[in-house]
Structure 1
Amino acid sequence: MSARPALHFVGFRGDEYSAALRIFGPPDFIHIGWDRWARQEVMPGDIAVFARGTADDEPSVYSVPDLRER
């Protein structure tokens, strides 16, 4: 039995999230930005959907928080 690939949303901040949700369905992981931690969590075979850029882009040298509280 093989596990299905995880779905990652990366860098979504506005209305594009709703569009991605309609197209791809709910993500397994949401990454606020593309940093080395997010890159480490995307495993071979996973699907990463980016608001801007691609997985080939160099990750930010700064860490992005996983959770934003208002």
Structure 2
Amino acid sequence: MALHFIGFRGDEYGRAIRIFGVPDFIHIGWDRWARQEVMPGDVAVFARGTAKDEPSAYAFPDLRE
């Protein structure tokens, strides 16, 4: 079981860590790649939205410089 944080950009990240713990994976946004990485039994914590939302048609970058 893995913990995924999806779409966190600000102060809500710190609050999520206090509640859920440190994530195993951080996804910048909900795109098809993030959806593919969340496996049955994993916990996905969204800053906004849910796993039932349609993923973005555009991929989010894996790393921001």
TM-score, normalising length: structure 2: 0.98
- Report what 1:36 is aligned to: 32
- Report what 1:47 is aligned to: 43
The structure 1 segments of at least 4 consecutive aligned residues displaced by more than 3 Å after TM superposition are none
Q: Which runs of 5+ in 1 are unaligned?
A: none
**Aligned residue runs from structure 1 range 1-70, under 5 A:** 5-69=1-65
Fraction of identical pairs, as percent? 83
Deviations 1:4-59 (A, max 9, x none): x1000000000000000000000000000000000000000000000000000000
Give the greater-gyration-radius structure (CA): 1
**How many aligned positions are there?**
65
TM-score, normalising length: structure 1: 0.92
Q: Which runs of 5+ in 2 are unaligned?
A: none
RMSD of aligned Cα (Å): 0.4
- Provide the C-alpha distance between the structure 2 equivalents of 1:65 and 1:7, rounded to a whole number of angstroms: 19
